[in-house]
Chain A
Amino acid sequence: MKKLRLIAGVLVLGLSMAACGGAKVEDDSAAAPSASAAGSAGASAAGTVKIAINGWVGYEASAAVVSYLLEKELGYKVEKVTLAEEPSWQGMESGDVDVIIENWGHPDLKKKYIEEKQVAVEAGSTGNKGVIGWYVPEWMVQKYPDITDYKNLNKYADLFKTSESDGKGQMLDGDPSFVTNDEALVKNLKLDYKVVYAGSEAALIKAAKQATEQKKPLLMYFYEPQWLFNQVKLVKVNLPAYTEGCDSDPKKVACDYPPYDLDKIVSKKFADTGGKAYELIKAFQWTNDDQNAVADDITNNGMSAEDAAKKWVEANTAKWQAWMPK
């Protein structure tokens, strides 16, 4: 009898839990606004926008300007979450990220988070044109004119040898999280090179400056828009031309990177409830030169991201006023 009651008790408990339906991860987002409200006691009532900050300064420049406008013009509070690219997408699911302000391609992530899980949506182009590729300092092209063709790279592999490259030429890459096919490229183009990861954008920039000033050979992964091109001359190495779909299998890639139309991604929740903040982010669109100006101020002119954004905003009123929600 006693046992029976126990079983009944367990059953009731089980049923009541089933009635609750368990905890889904999105439930978290319901808790999030209360959290941010407690965190920003006294701030304006407009709400909080969580912007992911990825690891290159161009991204930060865009994020700085958008944050500045959100805070100063629309009265929002902005929380910046420093993250690598893919965890930022995951943050859309967990409720830690509302906005990715500069996205480079990532068709696989778009498929997973936008189509399948439906936790994110596209919010249009940033207006920036992205280029990824292999670069050498300009002096090398003057000295070895045929180096810009990938077919000649093996001839020069010895030049690029370092203590880290296992007796092969060194191909310097940046952060492990950046979009890169370089290991596959080296393998599939049968290049006598080893991909070495410097760890960050800043490390790449440092290497580029050193290679230019001290005339040291360097082959590296780099990208535009980037303020560095205003200071240091780099020349792109020609890989086999990009054709639609030639990079669809990441293990078999043997062609150059596609041209990127950089875009914005926001979480589904933010698109539905973000109000004016969402409208502003959707409308935000500028040029590579705009971004480089702000990025240059942050990196080389010792300005904080906020000051650099302020400077740009004050000088370009017409541009940003067009983004403002009516």
Chain B
Amino acid sequence: MVSAPVQVAPPVQAPARVRRLPRWVAPVAGVVAVVALYVAFRGKAVLPHDDDAAVFHWLNDARDWVDANRNSSPIFLYVVNYLRLGVSEIYTLIQGALVALGWPGLIGLAAGLGWLAGGWRIALVSLAGFAGVGVLGFWEASVDTLALTLSAVVLSLLFGIPLGIWTGRSPRVRRIVTPVLDVMQIMPTFSYLSPIVLLFLIGPASATFATMIYAMPPAIRITSLAIQRVAGVAVEASESLGATGWQTLRKVRLPLALNTIMLGVNQTIAAALSMVPLVALIAAPGLGVDLLRALARVNVGAALIPGVAIVLLAIVLDRMTRAAAQRRDGGGRARVVRWGGFAVLTAAGLVLTPVLAQEFPEQWHVQLVRPINDVVEWIETHWYTFTGFVNDVVAYGLLNPLQDVLTSAPWWLITAAVLVFAWRVSGPVAGVIAAGCLVGVAALQLWQHGMETLTIVLVASVITIAAGLALGVLAARSRWFAAGLRPILDAAQTMPSFSYLLPAVALFGNGRFTAIMASFIYAVPVVARLVEDGLRAVPPTVMEAAKSAGSTDRQLLWKVQLPMARGSLLLAANQGIVMTLAMVVIGALVGAGALGYDVVAGIAQQEDYGKGLAAGVALVLLGVMLDRITQGANGRRSPHKKRNA
């Protein structure tokens, strides 16, 4: 019997000790200092919540001024009101056109466009997707949603693509536009509902503006990237032939960039669709209304079905634009087939429109609400002890103590701690910005609610990142696991987040933990994906070298893969946190309180308007702070998009 080797020395040697303080001393000293200061100053210089702060009144007055001058101030008469009229006219036009097509016509047109974009497969996807929406019983609401999405997308592209081209060609413009786009995307979508309603009142026009803010950045970013990528040789060749700048743009740059720009269109559509549930809060018609109503009735089945309808629309539009973005070759004959198919399918639909019924036939509807609710009821009655226990453990074990600390610590101590921490992690600029954001929250008189929100975000982020890391590592190590996980993640990512709120409510009742669970489902896919991608990107040669040096699997993971994937892991953490913030706010609709509640109340009650508006700004500040702390560590973020609502 051969005795086992006593102990294999770890293959990666710790660096030889240098004669200076060990690296852990500074952080530990920092933590000790913060704890000591906290103990000494606990309960002093806290900023308790005051519903009556001067800032809120000031904002209320501003609102009253706008209300009083809506029909007399020149800014409104000549600018804002025209914008509102114009946009609502565009929506009405698109909505009218879609309705006029009738349901067979619209299904035919969708199939035709699918054919045009990518042949019979995509045509079939479009056909099935649009018909599916009808079968679910949400035809009319889906048409409204589609009209709203299309008007927002058309406007986003109308402004986004030229702006993208400009940004792509001028580094100076790029420097100005990029931070603005950053903020537009970090900002929780909830937070700009109030100001938009103030300017444009409730209704489809406001909804279109709110959607545009979220959907435009991808169009600008990706167009800019596409223009930058156009090979210099092609541009030079064109210029040397004497083409003017405009000709070069039109004949060389744009055609070469077209496929990438189509991807931008794809991302814009996805972002616009994700706003559907949220804009229902400001009286936009469509599927979001059904989601909100189901939420008010705590009816899980009724919330899932419109969610599925949104997913179907998203899939169809995604596949269509993705196929259109692929470079196609083929001669005149292929073109004839493409346009011929388009014409035939569209015409077939249009011909059927007058023949078939006006409304989508009711006998084709599938009833799914009841069976889903039966399952939910069973789970509620049988799992309640368990879920109640989990809820209490997290609430009493994590949420309450953390919240106690954050709300009882002096505000200057938290700000200073954030300053130092962000400085160390992401550099001085990030440190100053992060601390500045906190000071802003304090100045808005929303410190306490801000800290309560931060508590929920931190706990949710920790849970999300831990789970995402575990799932990502497992997926990177086992192809079987990865293959099984992928469809689940896909589903969780495409489903509108409002739809998760209810199963979470059903399981855990109303409260902060429900918001945490909903944000968990929403953010985990992105975290898991980024971790998996990062681990898989570790070069095989490095892995081989480590293996041949005798590393165990465990050592391989901890000493080689994870350190080498640092960039992806940080990005995963950043995305996890930012997405959690976006979602936790929505949790206010099911009793999670804090800033999210202030925003909802601000839309709903007029004396709370100012507080709601200020809370929206505070959310933006928290978002920017968390983003700056986590993203600076490894340079710029990838253009990966957080999805919202």
Binding site for B on A (CB under 8 A): 17, 21-28, 31, 34-35, 38-39, 41-42, 53, 55, 57, 81-87, 90-91, 93-96, 108-109, 112, 117, 163-164, 166, 175-177, 183, 196-203, 206, 250-251, 299, 302
Is A86 in contact with B203, judged by CB distance below 8 angstroms? Answer: no
Chain A to chain B: the 10 pairs with minimum beta-carbon distance, closest first: A22-B77, A177-B604, A163-B395, A38-B96, A23-B81, A94-B201, A202-B298, A84-B604, A176-B601, A200-B296
Residues from chain A with Cβ under 8 Å of B513 in the complex: 163
User: Complex: how many Å from CA A178 to CA B515?
Assistant: 21
- Chain A's nearest CB lies how many Å from the CB of B509? 8
Is A164 in contact with B85, judged by CB distance below 8 angstroms? Answer: no
- Chain B's nearest CB lies how many Å from the CB of A25? 6
* Given A39-B99, A163-B511, also A176-B604 (CB < 8 A): yes
Residues from chain A with Cβ under 8 Å of B424 in the complex: none
- The verdict on B512 contacting chain A, using a C-beta distance below 8 Å, is yes
- The verdict on B135 contacting chain A, using a C-beta distance below 8 Å, is no
Is B604 in contact with A199, judged by CB distance below 8 angstroms? Answer: no
* Given A28-B84, A87-B603, A93-B201, also A42-B358 (CB < 8 A): yes
Residues from chain A with Cβ under 8 Å of B419 in the complex: none
User: Complex: how many Å from CA A196 to CA B85?
Assistant: 40
* Given A23-B81, A24-B81, A250-B607, also A175-B593 (CB < 8 A): no
Residues from chain B with Cβ under 8 Å of A21 in the complex: 77
- Chain B's nearest CB lies how many Å from the CB of A155? 24
Taking CB as reference atom, which chain A residue is nearest B73?
A22
Residues from chain B with Cβ under 8 Å of A83 in the complex: 202, 283
Is B511 in contact with A164, judged by CB distance below 8 angstroms? Answer: yes
Total number of B residues with any Cβ neighbor in A under 8 Å: 63
- Chain B's nearest CB lies how many Å from the CB of A55? 5
Residues from chain B with Cβ under 8 Å of A86 in the complex: 603-606
Is B593 in contact with A81, judged by CB distance below 8 angstroms? Answer: no
Stretch from B287-295, B464-472, B521-529 contacting the other chain: B287-295
Is B283 in contact with A41, judged by CB distance below 8 angstroms? Answer: no
Stretch from B87-95, B215-223, B545-553 contacting the other chain: B87-95
User: Complex: how many Å from CA A251 to CA B297?
Assistant: 31
- The verdict on B415 contacting chain A, using a C-beta distance below 8 Å, is no
Is A197 in contact with B203, judged by CB distance below 8 angstroms? Answer: no
For the complex with contacts A86-B604, A164-B511, A196-B511, 11 further pairs of A-B residues with Cβ separation under 8 Å are A26-B71, A35-B95, A42-B358, A86-B603, A86-B605, A91-B283, A96-B203, A96-B283, A163-B400, A199-B591, A203-B505
* Given A25-B81, A39-B96, also A183-B51 (CB < 8 A): yes
Q: List 30 A-B contacts (CB under 8 A).
A: A22-B74, A22-B77, A22-B82, A23-B77, A23-B85, A25-B70, A25-B84, A25-B201, A28-B85, A35-B95, A38-B92, A38-B100, A39-B99, A42-B358, A83-B202, A84-B604, A87-B202, A87-B603, A87-B604, A91-B203, A94-B201, A112-B606, A163-B399, A164-B593, A176-B588, A176-B601, A177-B601, A197-B597, A200-B297, A202-B297
- Chain B's nearest CB lies how many Å from the CB of A60? 9
Is A203 in contact with B100, judged by CB distance below 8 angstroms? Answer: no
User: Complex: how many Å from CA A23 to CA B52?
Assistant: 35
- Chain B's nearest CB lies how many Å from the CB of A306? 12
Residues from 260 to 318 in B contacting A, C-beta threshold 8 Å = 280-283, 285, 289, 292-293, 295-299
Is A176 in contact with B600, judged by CB distance below 8 angstroms? Answer: yes
Residues from chain A with Cβ under 8 Å of B84 in the complex: 23, 25, 28
User: Complex: how many Å from CA A15 to CA B607?
Assistant: 39
Residues from chain A with Cβ under 8 Å of B283 in the complex: 81-83, 87, 91, 96
* Given A25-B70, A38-B96, also A197-B591 (CB < 8 A): yes
* Given A25-B201, A31-B89, also A176-B81 (CB < 8 A): no
Is B296 in contact with A55, judged by CB distance below 8 angstroms? Answer: yes
Taking CB as reference atom, which chain B residue is nearest A83?
B283
User: Complex: how many Å from CA A127 to CA B531?
Assistant: 62
Is B280 in contact with A82, judged by CB distance below 8 angstroms? Answer: yes
- Chain B's nearest CB lies how many Å from the CB of A100? 13
User: Complex: how many Å from CA A25 to CA B88?
Assistant: 12
- Fill in one digit per residue for B574-595: 1 if any A CB lies within 8 Å of its CB, else 0: 0000000000000011110100
Residues from chain A with Cβ under 8 Å of B396 in the complex: 163
- Chain B's nearest CB lies how many Å from the CB of A40? 8
- The verdict on B391 contacting chain A, using a C-beta distance below 8 Å, is yes
Is A24 in contact with B77, judged by CB distance below 8 angstroms? Answer: yes
Is B71 in contact with A24, judged by CB distance below 8 angstroms? Answer: yes
From B296, B593, B607, contact of A201 by CB (8 A): B296
User: Complex: how many Å from CA A199 to CA B298?
Assistant: 10
From B51, B96, B591, contact of A203 by CB (8 A): B591
Is B77 in contact with A164, judged by CB distance below 8 angstroms? Answer: no
- The verdict on B78 contacting chain A, using a C-beta distance below 8 Å, is yes
User: Complex: how many Å from CA A199 to CA B518?
Assistant: 15
- Chain B's nearest CB lies how many Å from the CB of A274? 19
* Given A25-B201, A96-B202, A163-B511, also A177-B605 (CB < 8 A): yes
Residues from chain B with Cβ under 8 Å of A201 in the complex: 296
| Most chain B beta carbons < 10 A, residue from A95, A109, A164, A199 | A199
Residues from chain A with Cβ under 8 Å of B85 in the complex: 23, 27-28, 31
User: Complex: how many Å from CA A210 to CA B297?
Assistant: 16
User: Complex: how many Å from CA A57 to CA B297?
Assistant: 9
Residues from chain B with Cβ under 8 Å of A90 in the complex: 197, 201-202
- The verdict on B510 contacting chain A, using a C-beta distance below 8 Å, is yes
- Chain A's nearest CB lies how many Å from the CB of B33? 29
Residues from chain A with Cβ under 8 Å of B391 in the complex: 163
User: Complex: how many Å from CA A81 to CA B207?
Assistant: 14
- Chain A's nearest CB lies how many Å from the CB of B449? 13
- The verdict on B182 contacting chain A, using a C-beta distance below 8 Å, is no
Taking CB as reference atom, which chain B residue is nearest A206?
B298
User: Complex: how many Å from CA A38 to CA B631?
Assistant: 49
Residues from chain A with Cβ under 8 Å of B544 in the complex: none
User: Complex: how many Å from CA A271 to CA B614?
Assistant: 37
Taking CB as reference atom, which chain A residue is nearest B602?
A176
Taking CB as reference atom, which chain B residue is nearest A176?
B601
- Chain A's nearest CB lies how many Å from the CB of B276? 14
- The verdict on B374 contacting chain A, using a C-beta distance below 8 Å, is no
User: Complex: how many Å from CA A28 to CA B88?
Assistant: 9
User: Complex: how many Å from CA A310 to CA B48?
Assistant: 53
Is B512 in contact with A164, judged by CB distance below 8 angstroms? Answer: yes
Is B71 in contact with A25, judged by CB distance below 8 angstroms? Answer: yes
From B95, B296, B370, B588, contact of A39 by CB (8 A): B95
- Chain B's nearest CB lies how many Å from the CB of A113? 10
- The verdict on B392 contacting chain A, using a C-beta distance below 8 Å, is yes
Is A94 in contact with B202, judged by CB distance below 8 angstroms? Answer: yes
User: Complex: how many Å from CA A96 to CA B206?
Assistant: 12
User: Complex: how many Å from CA A31 to CA B90?
Assistant: 12
Residues from chain B with Cβ under 8 Å of A35 in the complex: 92, 95-96
From A24, A41, A84, contact of B100 by CB (8 A): A41
| Most chain B beta carbons < 10 A, residue from A17, A53, A82 | A82
| Most chain B beta carbons < 10 A, residue from A94, A108, A176, A200 | A176
Residues from chain B with Cβ under 8 Å of A93 in the complex: 201
Residues from chain A with Cβ under 8 Å of B593 in the complex: 164, 196-197
From A41, A94, A198, contact of B99 by CB (8 A): A41
Residues from 391 to 432 in B contacting A, C-beta threshold 8 Å = 391-392, 395-396, 399-400
User: Complex: how many Å from CA A175 to CA B292?
Assistant: 12
Residues from chain A with Cβ under 8 Å of B512 in the complex: 164
Residues from chain A with Cβ under 8 Å of B78 in the complex: 17, 22-23
Residues from chain B with Cβ under 8 Å of A94 in the complex: 201-203
User: Complex: how many Å from CA A153 to CA B197?
Assistant: 40
- Chain B's nearest CB lies how many Å from the CB of A271? 20
Residues from chain A with Cβ under 8 Å of B590 in the complex: 198-200, 203
From A17, A28, A84, A251, contact of B603 by CB (8 A): A84
* Given A24-B71, A203-B510, also A196-B606 (CB < 8 A): no
Residues from chain B with Cβ under 8 Å of A183 in the complex: 51
- Chain B's nearest CB lies how many Å from the CB of A240? 21
From B81, B100, B588, B603, contact of A27 by CB (8 A): B81
Is B591 in contact with A196, judged by CB distance below 8 angstroms? Answer: yes
